Copies of this chain bind each other. A is one copy, B any other.
Amino acid sequence: MMEALLDLTEWSDLPDSARAMARLSLFDWMVCGLAGVGEPVSAILRAHVAGSGAATVFGGGTAPARAAALANGTISHALDYDDTHFGHIGHLSVGIYPAALAVGQEVGADTAAVVDAFLVGAEAAIRIGMVLGVGHYNRGFHQTATAGAFGATIAAGRLYGLTRGQMRVALGLCATRASGLKSQFGTMGKPLNAGIAASNGVECAALALAGMTSASDGIWGPQGFVATHSDAPMLWDSRAAFLFEDVQYKLHACCHGTHAMIEALGAVKRQHNLPAERVAAIRLRTSPRWLSVCDIKTPRTGLEVKFSYAWLAGMVLSGIATSSDRSYTDALAQDAALTDFARRITVTGDAAVGEMQALGQVKTVDGQIIRFAHDLAARQPLDQLQAALRAKADGLIGVERAGQLWAGAQTAQDLGRMMQA
């Protein structure tokens, strides 16, 4: 299995569709990083790594690659608004892009090389995450940090130009170094876990380049990472396809349980050009799991709005951006039109509806019935995703900066300049 993993790290003929998604992840990751600069944990990390070096830190200033990766992983995960992957059970970009970009700046790579390094690292992280499996996650490990560190190591290693033998060493060192627990959730330790993955990747790759030795198979070998960190490991997925393309973006700054409904109603509004005032009633069926989580009937604060199907449905149909954290004000909870609209929606739990799904119907004032259904796990057309991420970016960092970022950058140095606040 180690050989299959090493083969993957050397993959050069990457599919265009996967590359396009990896570029989209780069854009979204940069947006999350820039939007997260003002968070308290970001200020701590920026001060912690303050110095100078080859790599840029979100918000400006530079640090050595390892330190920049630690800070940027943490800062970009501070809002918890970055991409996820259900196979891997974790966040991909925040653990891997900071390593790829920091090393990319150190070695003077162009953006295309950074994106390819990320893509291969992410694909490996997904498959290692799947090998570690649900048992690893349920035991208490945080795949973003553990499997993510291997992805970061591979991304950094590709940019350092490691030989196959050196990559094997780098992965062996990562096996003795990768860590991260879910018990940090709800604290600053959670975003730090992403930084830990990224910084471990940079350091393990650099030490391998410098000539270290390590276990020949630190991952699957005796007392290796899998044996020590998973009670019921799964087989390596040997499909040649890029599983990365199932990556999920977080498009709305509210409870994940509401996202399928938001997507479904957004499509109804777009396809039928339907304003809120023409909606007579909405019936929503959702997973029973979410009823105790995000079905607050009368939210009192902006934070509670994030957990209210009724308010969020009104926001979508009234054209209020659910993607921007700034929409969720306390005043919105008192808004007369939304309060009125909320009376028209009925939410029912249905065990046949998956946690990532929403089903239902909208009845218009003319008596027309429009059925809707959305499954977050289904792949979205690229252009729809692009538009949605661009809108998210506009809300988070402003139209002008989002536009500059969207226009792209030729080199890692250019990307570094865009990370400055």
Contact surface of A with B, Cβ cutoff 8 Å: 40-41, 44, 47-48, 51, 64, 139-142, 145, 172-173, 175-184, 187-189, 192-193, 196, 206-207, 210-215, 218, 221-225, 227-228
| A399 nearest CB across to chain B (Å) | 34
Q: List 16 A-B contacts (CB under 8 A).
A: A41-B212, A51-B64, A139-B227, A140-B228, A176-B184, A177-B179, A181-B225, A182-B223, A183-B221, A183-B222, A187-B215, A188-B214, A189-B213, A189-B214, A189-B215, A189-B218
Bound together, the chains give a CA A40 to CA B211 distance in angstroms of 9
| A197 nearest CB across to chain B (Å) | 11
Bound together, the chains give a CA A44 to CA B47 distance in angstroms of 28
Bound together, the chains give a CA A214 to CA B192 distance in angstroms of 10
| A227 nearest CB across to chain B (Å) | 6
Whether B193 and A176, one on each chain, are in contact in the complex, defined by CB atoms closer than 8 angstroms, is yes
Whether B188 and A213, one on each chain, are in contact in the complex, defined by CB atoms closer than 8 angstroms, is yes
Whether A140 and B184, one on each chain, are in contact in the complex, defined by CB atoms closer than 8 angstroms, is no
Partner of A218, one of B175, B183, B196, B224: B183
Residues from chain B with a CB closer than 8 A to the CB of A206 are 48
Whether B215 and A183, one on each chain, are in contact in the complex, defined by CB atoms closer than 8 angstroms, is yes
Residues from chain B with a CB closer than 8 A to the CB of A139 are 223, 227-228
The 10 closest A-B pairs by CB, nearest first: A140-B223, A183-B223, A140-B228, A179-B179, A189-B214, A187-B213, A176-B181, A188-B213, A183-B215, A44-B210
What is the chain B residue whose CB lies nearest that of A189? B214
Bound together, the chains give a CA A276 to CA B414 distance in angstroms of 75
Bound together, the chains give a CA A212 to CA B47 distance in angstroms of 12
Known: A177-B179, A184-B214, A189-B212. 18 other contacts (CB 8 A): A44-B212, A139-B228, A140-B224, A141-B228, A145-B176, A172-B184, A172-B187, A176-B183, A176-B196, A177-B196, A178-B179, A179-B179, A181-B225, A183-B223, A188-B213, A189-B214, A192-B207, A192-B212
Residues from chain B with a CB closer than 8 A to the CB of A211 are 40, 44
Residues from chain B with a CB closer than 8 A to the CB of A178 are 179
| A400 nearest CB across to chain B (Å) | 33
Bound together, the chains give a CA A223 to CA B183 distance in angstroms of 5
Whether B140 and A227, one on each chain, are in contact in the complex, defined by CB atoms closer than 8 angstroms, is yes
Whether B176 and A176, one on each chain, are in contact in the complex, defined by CB atoms closer than 8 angstroms, is no
| A162 nearest CB across to chain B (Å) | 15
Bound together, the chains give a CA A225 to CA B192 distance in angstroms of 16
Residues from chain B with a CB closer than 8 A to the CB of A51 are 64
Residues from chain B with a CB closer than 8 A to the CB of A145 are 176
Residues from chain B with a CB closer than 8 A to the CB of A210 are 44, 47-48
Whether B212 and A188, one on each chain, are in contact in the complex, defined by CB atoms closer than 8 angstroms, is yes
| A405 nearest CB across to chain B (Å) | 29
Bound together, the chains give a CA A140 to CA B218 distance in angstroms of 11
Partner of A184, one of B141, B184, B207, B215: B215
Residues from chain B with a CB closer than 8 A to the CB of A222 are 140, 183
Bound together, the chains give a CA A196 to CA B203 distance in angstroms of 11
Residues from chain B with a CB closer than 8 A to the CB of A225 are 181
Partner of A181, one of B212, B213, B218: B218
Bound together, the chains give a CA A8 to CA B189 distance in angstroms of 24
Bound together, the chains give a CA A73 to CA B211 distance in angstroms of 18
| A339 nearest CB across to chain B (Å) | 36
Q: Among A40, A180, A210, A212, find the residue whose CB has the most chain B CB atoms closer than 10 A.
A: A212
What is the chain B residue whose CB lies nearest that of A47? B210
| A48 nearest CB across to chain B (Å) | 6
Residues from chain B with a CB closer than 8 A to the CB of A41 are 212
Residues from chain B with a CB closer than 8 A to the CB of A212 are 41, 44, 188-189, 192
What is the chain B residue whose CB lies nearest that of A66? B67
Bound together, the chains give a CA A140 to CA B326 distance in angstroms of 48
